[in-house]
Structure 1
């Protein structure tokens, strides 16, 4: 049983196997030279030191065999050791090259946890990742896309998996089981109906493997919103509706689009968020709660009750148990 486990380990980890062979050869030759010439190599450690510098072809000359058999051992070590060391470094180089290629081509699996998975690649996704990757950020982001040939943004804390996100093997390669959040974007290369169908199919695959992961999906057509909810989407981004509202406001009030963009850029992160109504707020009017929260540097914007969200409700509206408050942190 033990030999089988060790055999499997060495087969899977070539570098570990070579390191083990190198160490074994060094120790054996170090012990042999100590036994043959104890006067020149007083301890086994001296023999090991000589074996290392000899196998590495450094040859400091502080220790050297003088007897016939000692020199024979030295020649064997040079022939054997040089070959092993050369193969060792060649294996490291090959392994590094293969690993780097797999990382760039998106064929290597991801084993981290609490990461964000983004599905689909387009300019919106590029901008989203750029905003998330602030200086000093250690947020692990993983991109899944089937159209890219290589990692579009190689660097620390960013990973790429090439594959079909509707397939279990691709999602498992991205370690969907340990992901914290998933963002599914609409495929811009397809018509809106087809893009939404792929989005919902991807959502079902994700929830099938990890029912608890927080999932945000981009839906383009109104009639697919209900299907996305049925599929378990925790949040739905209605891209077309948002764009339409911005356009309408720009037509009715010039300059609004720039103001909205500036506001959204400023609010990125955790400045705008929903919080559960605390015990001290329950029963307060919206006006009184606003005054209370303002002292804490929080601006009360709206109330989420059941599935409905009310922005700037009547000042007399009372906050109830199970309500969520939408605040803007300064």
Structure 2
């Protein structure tokens, strides 16, 4: 049907085409409006404007159904792939504009120094944003799309995440008050923790992280390890050690970045070293993630030695 009030306008309005493509998928003005976040009258207005621009009807409307007529079907076959290309172009451009967003956990950020330096050399114009990850929300920023890739301590048992190369290994230390009689020891064993109050994992810490990083509930001989109240951040942990007669099982990374004048660190034996690995979503729209991960993998490999 020829539209009498049609106008000769060769300009392309992306909003009209988007409404048309979504309507062709939904065949319902209400659902189309919901997907677009618009009112139903606004969707109808966009479709009518597109039809006036074309000069003929594209959509047949009745009280019960919405269908495309042959001219609408023909337009859809040409517009849909072009619109998909436009969406991809916008998405890729947004991704390039935001650069690479990297998350780090507390004192373990130094494990990213080498790959970040090499990545900057390769892409000097690519913006890099560093975000500190909280112990109580280790994978939240990654899943919410606030960071593209991050480090985490093993074990990592998250099926929606890809576990990448190991970036560092840190022997264990025990944070203990300087006033404590054991603060001058050469080392403290995990068996000795039965006589101390150990800061436990917060309830919001992932279960595998709590099992792998914090001391177990009992010593190897079966004695109970008393628990002190959990803490959310490194400063909270150190403050609790300094003032609440508690200890915290940490690693050699901790005193590099976080210290307290009333706290010292003693080597802790009987617990495995903490290992830092790179992780990122199984599904990611940022091509720089794979490149950064590959670069970190290459840097993590020991150099090949030529036979003498």
Q: TM-score, normalised by structure 2?
A: 0.26
Q: When you count helix as a share of all residues, which structure comes out higher?
A: 1
Report which of the two structures shows the higher radius of gyration computed on alpha carbons: 1
The alignment's TM-score, normalised by the length of structure 1, stands at: 0.25
Question: Which protein has greater RCO, CA pairs closer than 8 Å, 6+ apart?
Answer: 2
User: Which has more strand, going by share of residues?
Assistant: 2
